[in-house]
């Protein structure tokens, strides 16, 4: 199992279904704590609220199928002023 961190951007309803206390062995799966998720600002009423989740190891089942980002890619996304700390 790889230990490098990966990031995924998902809708809030997916975030609400995640178990942020999940562990594999002695390692936490999710490196993002639920109260420190960075969400997009809703500029338009039709825009879904999305958050960035950081995790390590194999992709959790609930996050499979979403685009995975590395740290450089997610930092580039965060340069946009549409993201804020919850």
Instruction: For the chain, give every domain's residue range.
Output: 5-85
Instruction: Report percent pLDDT > 70 for the chain.
Output: 85
- pTM value? 0.81
* pLDDT band at residue 9 using 50, 70 and 90 as cut-offs: very high
> Is 40 strand, coil or helix?
strand
CA distance 7 to 66: 10
Q: Per the structure block, which two tokens stand in for 50?
A: 């999305």
CA distance 57 to 63: 12
Q: Give me the count of residues in the chain.
A: 86
DSSP state letter for 30? B
At residue 86, does pLDDT exceed 70? no
Question: Using one digit for the tens of pLDDT, what is the confidence trace for 20-55?
Answer: 998 888 878 888 888 888 888 766 666 688 999 999
């Amino acid at each position: 199992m790889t230990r490098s961190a990966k990031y995924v951007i998902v809708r809030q309803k997916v975030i609400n279904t995640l178990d942020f206390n999940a562990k594999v062995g002695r390692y936490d799966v999710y490196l993002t704590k639920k109260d420190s998720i960075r969400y997009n600002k809703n500029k338009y009423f039709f825009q879904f609220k999305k958050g960035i989740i950081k995790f390590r190891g194999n992709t959790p089942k609930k996050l499979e199928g979403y685009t995975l980002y590395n740290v450089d890619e997610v930092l580039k996304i965060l340069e946009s002023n549409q993201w804020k700390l919850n």
